[in-house]
Amino acid sequence: MQRLPLGDYLVDQKLLVERKTFKDFASSIKDGRLFHQASRLASHPLRSAILLEGTTDDLRQIHMRRESIQGALIALTIVYGIPVLRSIDPEESSRLLLYAANQVRTRQLRPLPRQGKRPRGRTKLQLYILQGLPGVGPERARRLLEAFRSVEAVVSASAEQLSTVPGVGQKTANAIRWSLSA
C-alpha cells in the first residue's frame, strides 16, 4: 500500500478511482474540492472513476438539496467525463474494485474514438493529430506545431523540450511522453 498523489485506488496501473462517502461527497461539493479533484482526474493520463458509497439514509443525513447533488453528478459525468460508480457500503465497494480489476485485465482500456471528420490539408491534419495527445487542445497543438514544425518532431521531443513551449507545463509534457512511450 502507498499513498497516491491523486485518487484513492490504482487498479492494475490502468484505472484511478476516487472513493467518496455521501458525507465526504457533500462536503467536497460545499468547499469546492470536488471540482478541483474532478479536473485533475479528467486531465490524468489514466482512465478514472469516482466511487460514491452510501445508502439513501446516508443521503438524507447530509442535509443538502437534491439539485446540488444532481448538479455535481451532472458536472462529473457530462462536463468532466468521469464515470460515477455506486455502492452501498465498503464491502460492495471492494467487490466493485475487484470487478473493475477483472474488466481492466480482460479488456484493454482504449481511448474513445475521436468524433468528426478527419480534416483536410497537412497543417489541419497535424493539429488534429496533436490534439489526440493528453492535455493538448487546439491552442497547445498550434504552439507545439509552431515550436517543433512537425508531428514527428513533437513525438520525438523529450519532456524537457516539450515543457519549453509556452502553455505546456511539466505535467502536460510528462503526460505526453507517458502516452507515447512503450
What is the domain partition of the chain in residue ranges? 9-106, 122-180
The answer to whether residues 69 and 60 touch, using CB atoms and an 8 Å cutoff, is no
pLDDT at 112: 54
Residue 82 has phi, psi (to 5 degrees) of -105, 120
The pLDDT tens digits of the residues spanning 108-157 come to 655 555 566 777 888 888 988 898 888 888 899 999 999 999 999 999 99
Q: What crossing angle do the helices spanning 122-130 and 138-148 adopt, rounded to 10°?
A: 120
The pLDDT tens digits of the residues spanning 16-26 come to 899 999 889 99
- Mean pLDDT of the chain, nearest integer: 87
| 36 has a pLDDT exceeding 60 | yes
The answer to whether residues 24 and 56 touch, using CB atoms and an 8 Å cutoff, is no
pLDDT tier, 168 (very low <50, low <70, confident <90, very high otherwise): very high
| 181 has a pLDDT exceeding 70 | yes
Concatenating the DSSP letter of every residue in the chain gives ----SS-SEEETTTEEEEEEEHHHHHHHHHTSHHHHHHHHHHHSSSEEEEEEE--HHHHHHT---HHHHHHHHHIIIIIS---EEEESSHHHHHHHHHHHHHHHHHS---PPPPPSPPPSSHHHHHHHHHTTSTT--HHHHHHHHHHHSSHHHHHHS-HHHHTTSTT--HHHHHHHHHHH--
In the chain, the amino acid numbered 54 is: G
pLDDT at 60: 79
pLDDT tier, 63 (very low <50, low <70, confident <90, very high otherwise): confident
pLDDT tier, 93 (very low <50, low <70, confident <90, very high otherwise): very high
* Domain at 9-106, CATH from 3.20.20.80, 3.40.50.10130, 3.40.50.200, 3.20.20.70: 3.40.50.10130
User: What is the number of alpha carbons within 13 Å of residue 117 lying toward its C-beta?
Assistant: 3
Q: Which three cell numbers stand for residue 142?
A: 498550434
Q: What crossing angle do the helices spanning 33-43 and 22-30 adopt, rounded to 10°?
A: 100
What would be the CATH architecture of the domain defined by 122-180? Orthogonal Bundle (1.10)
CA distance 55 to 51: 13
| 83 has a pLDDT exceeding 90 | yes
| 8 has a pLDDT exceeding 90 | no
C-alpha 48, offset from chain centre: 5
